[in-house]
């Protein structure tokens, strides 16, 4: 009997979550109320609050699930990549793929505009904790690349993870602001910009050849 009750709870939770996302996409996140979500899911407002503390919690739960899948995918494949640029681009790819699998572009546009405009202070603590966890996972992946000699030994990994996470938010906003989504152009831009971040803007030292040019005295 307890197993049946748990399945029923899980089904009700999923129904509430799906109802919320449906309304967020149709009329916008800010305009959607708990009462409307309850009506769409066929339950009472107190029942919604029993499963989710606020409508933000519906989004956070979905984002956590997508992030977990993306990080697991990245861990399974990045270690095999010799080029750190390939690794960074793959990480961004799986994060975006999972983000779009969990929530439609319209919801991402609204959420990311709020986050990138400095509105994160108004987001619930659960969202901030989720984002901190994601940055920590990105940092752990970068440390693995660093330990394998694919990144500089003196790299500030935590700062790099912070920058990559913010950059990913910005690129996702740009992607979801186009209709239809232009993933091919998005990924080309990500690779160009990630390469700039990875290799830097400083010229090569005198004892190092510029990329694509032979060293002095070397073969022509």
DSSP assigned state of 57: H
> Are 61 and 113 in the same domain?
yes
**Structural domain containing residue 32:** 1-53
- Residue-level pLDDT at 44: 94
What does the block give as tokens for 9? 């709870």
> Are 30 and 68 in the same domain?
no
* Dist CA 148 CA 6 (whole Å): 44
- Residue-level pLDDT at 1: 59
Tally of domains within the chain: 2
> Are 123 and 16 in the same domain?
no
- Residue-level pLDDT at 204: 65
Is the model's pTM score more than 0.75? yes
> Are 16 and 92 in the same domain?
no
What averages of pLDDT result for each successive group of 10 residues across the chain (220 residues)? Answer: 80 91 89 94 93 88 89 92 94 94 88 70 69 93 94 93 90 91 94 89 62 46
> Are 164 and 82 in the same domain?
yes
What does the block give as tokens for 111? 């959420």
CATH number for position 166: 1.10.357.10
- Residue-level pLDDT at 123: 58
């Amino acid at each position: 009997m307890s197993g049946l009750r748990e399945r029923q709870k899980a089904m009700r939770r999923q129904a509430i979550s799906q109802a919320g996302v449906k309304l967020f996409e149709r009329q916008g996140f800010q305009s959607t109320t708990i009462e409307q979500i309850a009506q769409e899911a066929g339950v009472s407002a107190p029942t919604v609050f029993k499963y989710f503390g606020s409508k933000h919690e519906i989004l956070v739960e979905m984002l956590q699930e997508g992030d977990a899948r993306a990080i697991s995918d990245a861990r399974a494949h990045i270690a095999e990549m010799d080029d750190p640029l390939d690794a960074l681009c793959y990480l961004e790819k799986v994060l975006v793929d999972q983000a779009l699998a969990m929530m439609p572009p319209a919801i991402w546009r609204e959420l990311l505009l709020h986050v990138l405009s400095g509105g994160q202070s108004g987001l619930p603590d659960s969202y901030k904790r989720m984002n901190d966890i994601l940055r920590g996972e990105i940092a752990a992946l970068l440390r693995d690349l660093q330990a394998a000699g694919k990144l500089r030994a003196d790299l500030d990994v935590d700062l790099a993870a912070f920058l990559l996470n913010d950059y990913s938010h910005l690129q996702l906003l740009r992607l979801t602001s186009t209709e239809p989504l232009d993933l091919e152009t998005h990924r080309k831009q990500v690779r160009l910009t990630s390469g700039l971040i990875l290799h830097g803007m400083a010229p090569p030292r005198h004892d190092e050849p510029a990329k694509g040019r032979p060293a002095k005295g070397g073969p022509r």
